[in-house]
Amino acid sequence: MIKGAQLYEGKAKKVYATEDPELLIVSYKDDATAFNGLKHGTISGKGVINNRMSNALMRLLEQQGIPTHFVQELSERETLVRKVNIVPLEVIVRNLSAGSFSKRYGVEEGIPFKEPTVEFSYKNDALGDPLLNDSHALALGLATREELNQIRQYALEINRLLREFWLSCGVTLVDFKLEFGRPADGSIILADEISPDTCRLWDSATGEKLDKDRFRRDLGGVEDAYQEVMARLERRFGSSC
Ligand code: ADP
Ligand code: UDP
Protein backbone atom coordinates (compact mmCIF):
# COMPACT_ATOMS: atom_id res chain seq x y z
CA MET A 1 0.00 0.00 0.00
CA ILE A 2 1.52 3.33 -1.07
CA LYS A 3 1.65 6.06 1.57
CA GLY A 4 0.03 9.22 0.18
CA ALA A 5 -0.26 12.76 1.51
CA GLN A 6 -0.15 13.45 5.24
CA LEU A 7 -3.73 14.35 6.14
CA TYR A 8 -3.28 15.12 9.83
CA GLU A 9 -0.69 15.31 12.55
CA GLY A 10 -2.08 14.78 16.04
CA LYS A 11 -0.42 14.69 19.44
CA ALA A 12 0.52 10.99 19.22
CA LYS A 13 0.04 9.92 15.60
CA LYS A 14 0.27 11.07 12.00
CA VAL A 15 -2.41 10.04 9.51
CA TYR A 16 -1.72 9.50 5.78
CA ALA A 17 -3.94 8.90 2.76
CA THR A 18 -3.47 5.79 0.61
CA GLU A 19 -4.44 5.02 -2.99
CA ASP A 20 -7.64 3.47 -1.58
CA PRO A 21 -10.06 6.21 -0.41
CA GLU A 22 -11.44 3.87 2.27
CA LEU A 23 -8.05 3.15 3.87
CA LEU A 24 -5.55 5.25 5.85
CA ILE A 25 -2.08 4.71 7.26
CA VAL A 26 -1.50 5.76 10.88
CA SER A 27 2.05 6.31 12.08
CA TYR A 28 2.71 6.26 15.83
CA LYS A 29 5.09 8.89 17.30
CA ASP A 30 7.12 8.90 20.52
CA ASP A 31 5.66 12.32 21.42
CA ALA A 32 3.70 12.45 24.66
CA THR A 33 1.36 15.16 25.88
CA ALA A 34 -0.80 15.53 28.97
CA PHE A 35 -3.22 18.00 30.54
CA ASN A 36 -4.79 18.91 27.20
CA GLY A 37 -1.43 19.56 25.55
CA LEU A 38 0.07 21.70 28.35
CA LYS A 39 2.78 19.14 29.15
CA HIS A 40 5.01 17.85 26.34
CA GLY A 41 7.67 15.17 26.27
CA THR A 42 9.07 12.15 24.49
CA ILE A 43 8.75 8.55 25.57
CA SER A 44 11.45 6.69 23.66
CA GLY A 45 10.07 3.64 21.84
CA LYS A 46 6.43 4.46 22.75
CA GLY A 47 5.27 4.63 19.12
CA VAL A 48 6.49 1.11 18.42
CA ILE A 49 4.87 -0.29 21.57
CA ASN A 50 1.55 1.52 21.10
CA ASN A 51 1.31 0.44 17.47
CA ARG A 52 2.01 -3.21 18.19
CA MET A 53 -0.10 -3.35 21.37
CA SER A 54 -3.08 -1.61 19.82
CA ASN A 55 -2.99 -3.96 16.83
CA ALA A 56 -2.70 -7.08 18.99
CA LEU A 57 -5.64 -5.98 21.15
CA MET A 58 -7.78 -5.00 18.16
CA ARG A 59 -7.11 -8.42 16.58
CA LEU A 60 -8.21 -10.03 19.84
CA LEU A 61 -11.40 -7.93 19.88
CA GLU A 62 -12.12 -8.73 16.20
CA GLN A 63 -11.86 -12.44 17.00
CA GLN A 64 -14.51 -11.88 19.67
CA GLY A 65 -16.90 -10.12 17.29
CA ILE A 66 -16.08 -6.43 17.87
CA PRO A 67 -15.64 -4.59 14.53
CA THR A 68 -12.47 -2.45 14.47
CA HIS A 69 -10.58 -0.26 12.00
CA PHE A 70 -7.52 -2.57 12.05
CA VAL A 71 -6.52 -3.91 8.62
CA GLN A 72 -2.78 -4.72 8.58
CA GLU A 73 0.40 -3.88 10.49
CA LEU A 74 2.77 -2.40 7.90
CA SER A 75 5.87 -1.77 10.02
CA GLU A 76 6.83 -1.31 13.63
CA ARG A 77 5.23 2.15 13.72
CA GLU A 78 2.72 2.06 10.85
CA THR A 79 -0.65 0.39 10.41
CA LEU A 80 -3.24 0.28 7.64
CA VAL A 81 -6.72 1.07 8.99
CA ARG A 82 -10.23 1.58 7.66
CA LYS A 83 -10.94 5.28 7.26
CA VAL A 84 -13.80 6.41 9.46
CA ASN A 85 -15.66 9.56 10.24
CA ILE A 86 -14.76 9.78 13.95
CA VAL A 87 -17.71 10.18 16.34
CA PRO A 88 -16.40 13.15 18.37
CA LEU A 89 -16.81 11.41 21.72
CA GLU A 90 -14.17 10.11 24.11
CA VAL A 91 -15.78 6.98 25.49
CA ILE A 92 -14.35 6.25 28.93
CA VAL A 93 -14.92 2.98 30.78
CA ARG A 94 -13.85 2.60 34.41
CA ASN A 95 -13.53 -0.43 36.69
CA LEU A 96 -11.80 1.32 39.61
CA SER A 97 -11.73 4.96 40.70
CA ALA A 98 -8.81 7.01 39.39
CA GLY A 99 -7.88 10.24 37.62
CA SER A 100 -10.66 12.69 36.85
CA PHE A 101 -13.31 10.44 38.47
CA SER A 102 -11.50 10.60 41.82
CA LYS A 103 -10.98 14.33 41.49
CA ARG A 104 -14.55 15.12 40.40
CA TYR A 105 -16.27 13.02 43.06
CA GLY A 106 -13.69 13.44 45.85
CA VAL A 107 -12.79 9.78 46.31
CA GLU A 108 -9.41 8.11 46.64
CA GLU A 109 -7.96 6.17 43.71
CA GLY A 110 -8.23 2.38 43.52
CA ILE A 111 -11.79 1.78 44.78
CA PRO A 112 -13.24 -1.12 42.74
CA PHE A 113 -16.74 -0.51 41.35
CA LYS A 114 -19.52 -3.10 41.60
CA GLU A 115 -20.29 -2.37 37.94
CA PRO A 116 -18.16 -0.60 35.34
CA THR A 117 -19.06 3.00 34.46
CA VAL A 118 -19.27 4.39 30.94
CA GLU A 119 -19.03 8.12 30.31
CA PHE A 120 -18.74 10.35 27.28
CA SER A 121 -16.65 13.48 26.80
CA TYR A 122 -17.02 15.82 23.84
CA LYS A 123 -13.79 15.34 21.84
CA ASN A 124 -12.93 19.02 21.50
CA ASP A 125 -9.45 20.19 22.57
CA ALA A 126 -10.44 23.88 22.52
CA LEU A 127 -13.13 23.20 25.15
CA GLY A 128 -10.96 20.77 27.16
CA ASP A 129 -13.04 17.67 26.25
CA PRO A 130 -16.05 18.46 28.51
CA LEU A 131 -18.07 15.63 30.02
CA LEU A 132 -21.51 15.21 28.43
CA ASN A 133 -24.53 12.94 28.64
CA ASP A 134 -26.63 11.29 25.92
CA SER A 135 -29.08 14.16 25.62
CA HIS A 136 -26.22 16.65 25.20
CA ALA A 137 -24.65 14.44 22.52
CA LEU A 138 -28.03 14.24 20.75
CA ALA A 139 -28.62 17.99 21.07
CA LEU A 140 -25.19 18.67 19.54
CA GLY A 141 -25.87 16.15 16.75
CA LEU A 142 -22.69 14.19 17.57
CA ALA A 143 -24.40 10.79 17.16
CA THR A 144 -27.87 9.27 16.92
CA ARG A 145 -29.59 7.52 19.82
CA GLU A 146 -29.02 4.18 18.08
CA GLU A 147 -25.31 4.96 17.66
CA LEU A 148 -24.96 5.95 21.34
CA ASN A 149 -26.61 2.68 22.40
CA GLN A 150 -24.36 0.68 20.07
CA ILE A 151 -21.25 2.51 21.30
CA ARG A 152 -22.14 1.87 24.94
CA GLN A 153 -22.80 -1.81 24.24
CA TYR A 154 -19.46 -2.22 22.40
CA ALA A 155 -17.62 -0.29 25.15
CA LEU A 156 -18.89 -2.62 27.89
CA GLU A 157 -18.16 -5.74 25.85
CA ILE A 158 -14.64 -4.44 25.06
CA ASN A 159 -14.14 -3.81 28.78
CA ARG A 160 -15.20 -7.36 29.63
CA LEU A 161 -12.78 -8.82 27.06
CA LEU A 162 -9.82 -6.54 27.80
CA ARG A 163 -10.20 -6.78 31.55
CA GLU A 164 -10.04 -10.57 31.37
CA PHE A 165 -7.09 -10.45 28.97
CA TRP A 166 -5.07 -8.04 31.12
CA LEU A 167 -5.87 -10.00 34.27
CA SER A 168 -4.28 -13.05 32.62
CA CYS A 169 -1.13 -10.89 32.23
CA GLY A 170 -1.16 -9.91 35.92
CA VAL A 171 -2.43 -6.43 35.07
CA THR A 172 -5.55 -4.65 36.39
CA LEU A 173 -7.41 -2.65 33.75
CA VAL A 174 -8.42 0.40 35.80
CA ASP A 175 -9.94 2.58 33.06
CA PHE A 176 -9.50 3.44 29.39
CA LYS A 177 -10.63 5.70 26.56
CA LEU A 178 -12.06 4.50 23.25
CA GLU A 179 -12.98 6.27 20.02
CA PHE A 180 -15.52 4.97 17.54
CA GLY A 181 -16.17 5.96 13.95
CA ARG A 182 -18.32 5.41 10.90
CA PRO A 183 -16.71 3.79 7.84
CA ALA A 184 -18.24 4.36 4.39
CA ASP A 185 -21.06 1.87 5.10
CA GLY A 186 -22.27 4.01 8.03
CA SER A 187 -21.86 1.31 10.68
CA ILE A 188 -20.04 1.91 13.98
CA ILE A 189 -16.56 0.42 14.46
CA LEU A 190 -13.79 0.83 17.03
CA ALA A 191 -11.03 3.22 15.83
CA ASP A 192 -7.99 5.08 17.16
CA GLU A 193 -5.79 3.09 19.61
CA ILE A 194 -5.71 0.99 22.78
CA SER A 195 -2.37 1.45 24.54
CA PRO A 196 -0.74 2.57 27.80
CA ASP A 197 -1.41 6.13 26.54
CA THR A 198 -5.16 5.51 26.66
CA CYS A 199 -5.53 2.92 29.46
CA ARG A 200 -4.65 2.86 33.15
CA LEU A 201 -2.86 -0.43 33.74
CA TRP A 202 -1.75 -1.39 37.26
CA ASP A 203 0.31 -4.39 38.27
CA SER A 204 -2.29 -6.67 39.89
CA ALA A 205 0.05 -7.73 42.71
CA THR A 206 1.83 -4.48 43.61
CA GLY A 207 -0.46 -1.77 42.20
CA GLU A 208 2.51 -0.29 40.34
CA LYS A 209 1.39 2.03 37.54
CA LEU A 210 2.37 0.71 34.09
CA ASP A 211 0.89 3.47 31.92
CA LYS A 212 1.00 7.14 30.95
CA ASP A 213 0.32 8.29 34.54
CA ARG A 214 4.08 7.74 35.08
CA PHE A 215 4.63 10.55 32.56
CA ARG A 216 1.68 12.73 33.67
CA ARG A 217 2.70 12.56 37.34
CA ASP A 218 6.51 12.57 36.88
CA LEU A 219 6.87 9.16 38.54
CA GLY A 220 9.95 8.15 36.51
CA GLY A 221 10.51 4.79 34.80
CA VAL A 222 8.11 5.70 31.98
CA GLU A 223 9.89 3.75 29.20
CA ASP A 224 10.38 0.75 31.50
CA ALA A 225 6.66 0.67 32.33
CA TYR A 226 5.64 0.68 28.65
CA GLN A 227 8.18 -2.07 27.93
CA GLU A 228 6.98 -4.11 30.90
CA VAL A 229 3.30 -4.19 29.85
CA MET A 230 4.29 -4.89 26.25
CA ALA A 231 6.51 -7.79 27.37
CA ARG A 232 3.64 -9.23 29.42
CA LEU A 233 1.29 -8.97 26.45
CA GLU A 234 3.82 -10.65 24.16
CA ARG A 235 4.41 -13.47 26.63
CA ARG A 236 0.67 -14.03 26.71
CA PHE A 237 0.23 -13.95 22.91
CA GLY A 238 3.62 -15.37 21.95
CA SER A 239 6.09 -12.87 20.49
CA SER A 240 4.54 -13.12 16.99
CA CYS A 241 1.68 -10.77 17.94
P1 ADP B 1 -5.20 13.79 18.67
O2 ADP B 1 -5.99 14.16 17.44
O3 ADP B 1 -6.10 13.72 19.89
O4 ADP B 1 -3.99 14.64 18.88
P5 ADP B 1 -3.68 11.46 17.66
O6 ADP B 1 -2.33 12.10 17.64
O7 ADP B 1 -3.79 10.08 18.16
O8 ADP B 1 -4.77 12.26 18.52
O9 ADP B 1 -4.22 11.56 16.19
C10 ADP B 1 -4.89 10.57 15.53
C11 ADP B 1 -6.20 11.13 14.99
O12 ADP B 1 -6.74 10.21 14.06
C13 ADP B 1 -7.23 11.31 16.11
O14 ADP B 1 -7.86 12.57 15.94
C15 ADP B 1 -8.22 10.18 15.87
O16 ADP B 1 -9.54 10.54 16.24
C17 ADP B 1 -8.11 9.95 14.37
N18 ADP B 1 -8.36 8.57 13.95
C19 ADP B 1 -8.06 7.42 14.59
N20 ADP B 1 -8.44 6.34 13.87
C21 ADP B 1 -8.98 6.81 12.74
C22 ADP B 1 -9.56 6.20 11.57
N23 ADP B 1 -9.63 4.88 11.45
N24 ADP B 1 -10.03 7.01 10.59
C25 ADP B 1 -9.97 8.37 10.71
N26 ADP B 1 -9.42 9.01 11.78
C27 ADP B 1 -8.93 8.24 12.77
N1 UDP C 1 -7.83 9.24 28.46
C2 UDP C 1 -7.27 9.35 27.20
N3 UDP C 1 -7.34 10.55 26.56
C4 UDP C 1 -7.94 11.63 27.09
C5 UDP C 1 -8.51 11.52 28.38
C6 UDP C 1 -8.44 10.32 29.04
O7 UDP C 1 -6.74 8.38 26.68
O8 UDP C 1 -7.98 12.69 26.45
C9 UDP C 1 -7.78 7.96 29.18
C10 UDP C 1 -6.80 8.00 30.34
O11 UDP C 1 -5.53 7.50 29.94
C12 UDP C 1 -7.44 7.07 31.35
C13 UDP C 1 -8.94 7.18 31.06
O14 UDP C 1 -9.05 7.71 29.75
O15 UDP C 1 -7.05 5.73 31.12
C16 UDP C 1 -9.69 8.04 32.06
O17 UDP C 1 -9.06 9.28 32.13
P18 UDP C 1 -9.59 10.40 33.16
O19 UDP C 1 -10.96 10.82 32.76
O20 UDP C 1 -9.42 9.87 34.55
O21 UDP C 1 -8.69 11.65 32.87
P22 UDP C 1 -7.21 12.05 33.30
O23 UDP C 1 -7.07 11.78 34.76
O24 UDP C 1 -6.32 11.22 32.43
O25 UDP C 1 -7.19 13.51 32.96
Q: Which residues of 54-81 are buried (b: 16+ CB within 10 A; e: fewer)?
A: bbbbbebbeeeebbbbbbebeeebbbbb
Q: Say whether pTM exceeds 0.85.
A: yes
Closest CA to 4 of 63, 65, 83, 106: 83
- Name the pairing type of β-strands 131-132 and 112-122: antiparallel
Ligand 1 center–CA 104 separation, angstroms = 27
**Architecture of the structural domain at 86-223:** 2-Layer Sandwich (3.30)
Print pLDDT tens along the chain (241 aa).
899 999 999 999 999 999 999 999 999 999 999 998 899 999 999 999 999 999 999 999 999 999 999 999 999 999 999 999 999 999 999 999 999 999 999 999 999 999 999 999 999 999 999 999 999 999 999 999 999 999 999 999 999 999 999 999 999 999 999 999 999 999 999 999 999 999 999 999 999 999 999 999 999 999 999 999 999 999 999 855 5
165 vs 9, 61, 97, 240, CA distance in Å? 31, 10, 20, 17
8 Å CB contact between 232 and 169: yes
From 7, 11, 13, 81, mutation site for ligand 1 pocket: most ligand atoms within 8 A of C-beta? 13
For the chain, the domains span: 6-82, 86-223
β-partners of residue 27 are 14, 78
Cβ of residue 99 lying under 6 Å from some atom of ligand 2:
yes
What letter would DSSP give residue 111?
P
**Architecture of the structural domain at 6-82:** 2-Layer Sandwich (3.30)
What letter would DSSP give residue 180?
E
Residue 158 to residue 151: CA distance in whole angstroms: 10
What letter would DSSP give residue 68?
B
- Name the pairing type of β-strands 199-203 and 189-191: unpaired
Cβ of residue 82 lying under 6 Å from some atom of ligand 2:
no
| Ligand 2 atom showing the smallest separation from residue 35 Cα | 25
211 vs 12, 74, 180, 189, 195, CA distance in Å? 15, 25, 22, 25, 8
Ligand 1 center–CA 49 separation, angstroms = 17
104 Cβ contact partners less than 8 Å away, ≥ 6 residues apart: none
